[in-house]
Structure 1
C-alpha cells in the first residue's frame, strides 16, 4: 500500500484499508511519505510503515522500493493519491507486479492507463475515467469507501454533550456542520452566504466548521462571515479525531461542494442518523437521496441551500425520518466487511488473470 500526502478523506481511507486487510490476516506493507499524517496515524495504531519520498525523478528510490518488495515478497501494489499513483505507475516497470490505483478524485493525469486496474470510489468517478482516459471496463472497478457503522452506534449522550460543550454550543442551539478541508471545492463560502437567511429564520443556529482555520480560503471565509455579520454564529473547531461523536453532536450536515467524487462526510453523517443537505454533484447524489435521506440542491445556490436547511431545522420529525433512512442506506451499502470482501475478490481476480508485466 503506497499513500502520499497529508490528512484527507483519501488518506484516512487508505490508512484504514491497510489496517482492515491486516486484521483479515494479510501481510500489508504500507509506504508513506515521512512525517505525514498517514505515517503518524499508522504508528499510533501499532503499524510500522516504510518511509519514502516517493520521488519519481531518480532511480535510487525505485531500487530501494524494488528491494523492499523482493524482501517482503509483495504480490501486488495498491496506490492512493496522485504522488503515489505516479510513483506506482513507474514502479510497475521495475518490479513487474500488478499495480492498482484507487481514484479518489476526477483528475486528468497520464498515469491512469499505466495501472493494471483503477478502482473508482463512485459511479461518477468511474464514468469520468472511462471517458477521460479511455479506460476499458476490464481496467475499471467500482468500490465505495466503507463506513465503520458500529463506531457510530456506540456513541452515548455524555460524549455528545461534551462535544457540544467543547464547541461552545448551548442545549438550545440548532447546529449545522460542514466537514473537511477548507478549500474552494468544498463550498464553505456558499454556505456562509446562506447563513443570513438561515439566521433570520432560526437565530440560534450555529455553523460548526470542522476543518483547518488557517488556510488561505479559510481566512477568506472568516472575512466573508464578518462582512455578512454572521461570524458570531460560526464555530471553527479544527479537525475532529472522533467523527462519530462529531456527527452525533449536530442536527444537519451540509455538503455544499462545487465538486465531489464521493462524499465521505455525507456517508458519515448518515451513519450517525443525520440528514444531509448536499449539492447535486458527483458522488454525493449516490449517497444522499433527495427527499429520502436528505435534500439535494443545485450547486452554488446559496438560496436553495438556505431554504433546505430552514426546512429541516423547522421539522424535527423530518430530520429524524431522513436521518434514519440515511443510516439504513449506509448500513446496506457501505459496510466494512462487504468492502473488504469485494477488495479481496478484486485482488484475487487480478493476481489470477493478469500476467505480470
Structure 2
C-alpha cells in the first residue's frame, strides 16, 4: 500500500509526534510512505521532526510556496495536486485543518482517490478565534471517505458543526508506547516536590491557573516548585512570566522553553498537571500516566475520561486556582495515594491507550476503506 500523509509542518507537537509513530508502524508493515508538509517553518521553538520521519523510512517533501498565507496555501494546493498525481497514493491521510483543506481540494479534482483526515481538536467558540468559519466550510470535510476523531467530543463536534455523517466518523484515541513500569526510584515528595506542566504556551492550556494556584500550595509546602515547558508559537510565554513576577514567584516557578525530551521532563515531577479549558484529547496526560506520574487535570471532557478521578489521578474545576491548589495539597499530603495512582495510571494506559492498539485501529480502518472502495469501483 502507498500512503501519503499531509501535515502543516514538521514541527513537533501532539499531532506530529503521533504521525511519527504512525509512519514507523506503516513502514514496518511493508507500506511505502511519503510525508508532505505545507511549510518547512516550525514555530515556537518546536523541534523539527523531518529527520525522524526519514529515519523511520518515509520519503518527505516540503510544499512551501512564496507569498502571503493565502497565496502560499493556494500554491501548496497546486503542488500537492501535482505530487498526488505523480506518486498516486492508495490513501491520502491529512492532519490538522490547513492540511485537511489542501487534501479536500485535491479530492475535488481526484474524486477516485481515498482521502482520510484526522481531526485532532474541536474548534469551538471562546477557544479558537476562527471558530466561526467552520460551519461554512464543513462541506470540505464532508468530502472525506472517513474522518478519524481523537475523542468522542471531537466526533460530536464534527457531526454537529461540520455536518459529517456519523458513520464516517471513527473515534481512535492517540496512544503512547508503554513498557514496564518506568519509575525505578520514587519521585521527590514533601518539601522537595515538583509540580509540572508540559503544553503549548497559549491561554486555553491554563498555565496561568497553575501559577495562581502556587501561593496557596506554598503556604503548606514552602519549598515546592512548579516547572512549565512547551513551544511558544504566539509569544504567550511572556504573559506567564509576567504573571510569575507579579505574584513574586520567581524563586518557585520555572518557565522553560520547548522540551524535546518529554519522558525526561516527566521523570523530574512529583505531580503532572494539565489545567486546560478545552482539549481535543490530551496526549501528554497519557504520557504522564504511562511514565508513572500522578496527574491533576481539568474536569472537562475528554480529560475526565482519560483520568479516572481518585484512581489514576484527580480532576479539578477548569480555571480555578483554588481547586487545583487543593488537589495538589491532597496529593502532597498523601504519599500512599500518590503511589497507588502511579501504579493504577500505568495499568490504565496499558488497557486503554497503548500505541499498538491505536496504530492497529488505523491500519484496520485503511483496509476497510480500501475494501469498500474496491467493491464500489467493481460495481458490487
TM-score normalised by L of structure 2: 0.84
Looking at structure 2, the residues matched to 239 and 325 of structure 1 have their Cα atoms a distance apart, in angstroms, of 29
Looking at structure 2, the residues matched to 84 and 191 of structure 1 have their Cα atoms a distance apart, in angstroms, of 33
1:295 aligns with 2:314: yes
Count of paired positions: 346
**Residue of structure 2 equivalent to 1:166:** none
**Are the counterparts in 1 of residues 23 and 58 from structure 2 also a CA contact under 8 Å?**
no
**Are the counterparts in 2 of residues 213 and 219 from structure 1 also a CA contact under 8 Å?**
no
**Are the counterparts in 2 of residues 62 and 94 from structure 1 also a CA contact under 8 Å?**
no
Quick check: which one's helix share is greater? 1
**Of 216, 219, 222, which residue of structure 2 is paired with 1:197?**
216
Secondary structure in structure 2 of the residue aligned to 1:30: strand
**Residue of structure 2 equivalent to 1:219:** 238
Looking at structure 1, the residues matched to 189 and 317 of structure 2 have their Cα atoms a distance apart, in angstroms, of 32
Q: CA deviation at 1:7?
A: 3.0
**Residue of structure 2 equivalent to 1:164:** none
Residues 116, 42 of structure 1: alpha-carbon distance in 2 compared, 3 angstrom cutoff? same
**Are the counterparts in 2 of residues 155 and 245 from structure 1 also a CA contact under 8 Å?**
no
Residues 35, 309 of structure 1: alpha-carbon distance in 2 compared, 3 angstrom cutoff? same
Q: CA deviation at 1:247?
A: 1.4
**Of 24, 34, 43, which residue of structure 1 is paired with 2:29?**
24
**Residue of structure 2 equivalent to 1:147:** 176
**Are the counterparts in 2 of residues 225 and 231 from structure 1 also a CA contact under 8 Å?**
yes
Any residues of structure 2 matched to 1:1-357 within 5 Å, and which? 1-5=5-9, 6-32=11-37, 33-36=39-42, 37-43=48-54, 47-53=58-64, 61-96=76-111, 97-107=113-123, 108=131, 109=134, 110=137, 111-150=140-179, 153=181, 173-212=192-231, 215-354=234-373, 355=376
- RMSD between aligned residues: 2.6
Q: CA deviation at 1:238?
A: 2.2
Secondary structure in structure 1 of the residue aligned to 2:32: coil
What are the superposed Cα offsets for residues 89-123 of structure 1, whole Å, 9 maximum, x if unpaired? 11112233121111111025223223221111011
**Are the counterparts in 1 of residues 177 and 355 from structure 2 also a CA contact under 8 Å?**
yes
Residues 324, 154 of structure 1: alpha-carbon distance in 2 compared, 3 angstrom cutoff? closer
Q: CA deviation at 1:88?
A: 0.6
Looking at structure 1, the residues matched to 264 and 258 of structure 2 have their Cα atoms a distance apart, in angstroms, of 13
Looking at structure 2, the residues matched to 21 and 234 of structure 1 have their Cα atoms a distance apart, in angstroms, of 41
Looking at structure 2, the residues matched to 345 and 264 of structure 1 have their Cα atoms a distance apart, in angstroms, of 22
**Are the counterparts in 2 of residues 190 and 301 from structure 1 also a CA contact under 8 Å?**
yes
Looking at structure 2, the residues matched to 128 and 295 of structure 1 have their Cα atoms a distance apart, in angstroms, of 26
Looking at structure 1, the residues matched to 250 and 356 of structure 2 have their Cα atoms a distance apart, in angstroms, of 42
Looking at structure 1, the residues matched to 30 and 198 of structure 2 have their Cα atoms a distance apart, in angstroms, of 33
